[in-house]
Amino acid sequence: MVNNAGILRDNKLVRVKDGELVKQMPEKDFDAVIAVNLKGVFNCTQVVAPYMINQGEGVILNAASVVGLDGNFGLTNYVATKAGVIGMTKVWARELGRYNIRVNAIAPGFILTEIVRQMPEEIVHGMLARTPLRRVGEPRDVANAYLFLASDEASFISGVTLRVDGGIVVGT
């Protein structure tokens, strides 16, 4: 099973201008991201785990993000969910391993998707400048990581979060 749900509601925790609070992240935005990105992963895994236990094996792959490992400006809610997914991955690897179920996560970095295509050019250049491989990842780079972790070639890998990010340095 691949848990690959995710939404964004980018916003800073608080905005201050001239020493005055002018805006806060709306709680509804925080809750919406938690509901999809974290609770959705929990719900789907809780449903599929008994079937995998009964069949005596399984692989669960969770979509995380490099920002779940490193943090990033303006993404409190999103970072919280992806860090939570990484934590659940570790717990479930321990809980479900006795049933021959492997649980891992993939943490993509800067991948050429519709979201990236719509980003302002200066943001894209800034991300590339912080990526040692000096290119944007392709969706196939992420797909290949999933394929590997789902395969028998990864039969002794569980509880890890695999970065697919070209070595990017985030968190500013």
Selecting among 51, 78, 99, 146, the annotated active-site residue is 78
The per-residue DSSP string of 92-152 comes to HHHHHGGGTEEEEEEEE-SB-SHHHHTS-HHHHHHHHHT-TT-SPBPHHHHHHHHHHHHSG
Q: Is 78 an active-site residue?
A: yes
Closest CA to 78 of 91, 60, 64: 64
Q: Count other C-beta atoms under 10 Å from residue 107's C-beta.
A: 24
Residues tagged active-site: 78
